[in-house]
Amino acid sequence: MDESSVMDWFNQHTPDKRVLLKKDGILFHQGDFPDFLYLVREGCIVMVKESPFGNPFITERLESSEFLGGFAVLGEFPYPATARAERPSVVEGYSAEKIRNALVAEISFRRGFFREIGVRVQDLQSRLLISPEPVKIRLARVIVSLCKKSRDMGLSSLGTDPVEIEVTRKSLSLMAGTSVESAIRLTRSWEKAGYLDLSKRGHVIVLSLDHFMNMTYENWSSAKE
């Protein structure tokens, strides 16, 4: 059973709340009690966690048809990161009690839910383990990860065609654990070399995904396949 089973459940059940967020609007803060699991209907939500040194780090970047707050709702512990809208967004909230009851009663929902949670844990672990690597490799891994995600969500096709990602370089820097200045400098150098197109504000168009895959020894294999 795949993530489509999870979306089927959300589409068949009425949300308990609907929230409209402006750019940089906060859905909930790190440490808040998890009353709801949220589904992104429109826009993009980033999960921002403060490190022990006070530096923010994006743990997840969630777009339309993806849910957030699952870890906290399952464990009944505070949200581990702050949910912020990267661009104007619409999210729907489902009560923690409703989600926990569905996980007990509906096998297909449970399987799809835990599969999605597992994929996210693997992605986060892989990014945390690369922290000693050079900044350019960390940033390349983020670019590859976002391209793979757009393919998994049906937003791009497998092959040599350019992949357009709606993301700011600030978000790229927070996902790679580096400064905005470093992300700007590196992406500009990749643009000059013909690997990226940065002409569209708020977007990164990857012209040569093979270049970044070769840098990181990545391939198109995915836990969702």
Q: Is 162 helix (H, G, I), strand (E, B) or coil?
A: coil
Mean pLDDT for the stretch of residues 124-130: 64
At 31, list the tokens: 């440490």
225 pLDDT more than 60: no
73 pLDDT more than 80: yes
Mean pLDDT for the stretch of residues 212-219: 79
* pLDDT tens sequence across 97-123: 999 999 999 998 998 899 888 888 877
Mean pLDDT for the stretch of residues 181-190: 93
* pLDDT tens sequence across 7-49: 889 999 999 999 999 999 999 999 999 999 999 999 999 999 8
Helices (H), the chain: 3-12, 70-75, 96-105, 107-129, 135-152, 169-176, 180-192, 209-216
pLDDT confidence tier of residue 218, bands split at 50, 70 and 90: low
Residue 224 is predicted with a pLDDT of 40
CB 196 within 8 A of CB 189: no
Judged by average pLDDT, the poorest of 51-60, 77-86, 196-205 is 51-60
Tokens 């960390």 belong to which residue?
138
The percentage of the chain sitting over the pLDDT mark of 90, rounded to a whole number, equals 45
Residue 1 is predicted with a pLDDT of 38
CB 138 within 8 A of CB 173: no
The C-alpha angle 55, 90, 71, rounded to 5 degrees, equals 55
Domains and CATH numbers, the chain: 3-129 (2.60.120.10), 135-216 (2.60.120.10)
Residue 4 is predicted with a pLDDT of 62
How far apart are the C-alpha atoms of 27 and 47, rounded to whole Å?
Answer: 10
Q: What is the pTM of this model?
A: 0.71
Residue 117 is predicted with a pLDDT of 86
Kindly report the average pLDDT of the chain as a whole number.
Answer: 85
Half-sphere exposure of 32 (CA within 13 A, CB side): 14
How far apart are the C-alpha atoms of 187 and 138, rounded to whole Å?
Answer: 12
Residues 6 or more apart whose Cβ sits within 8 Å of residue 142: 127, 172, 175, 176
How far apart are the C-alpha atoms of 59 and 72, rounded to whole Å?
Answer: 14
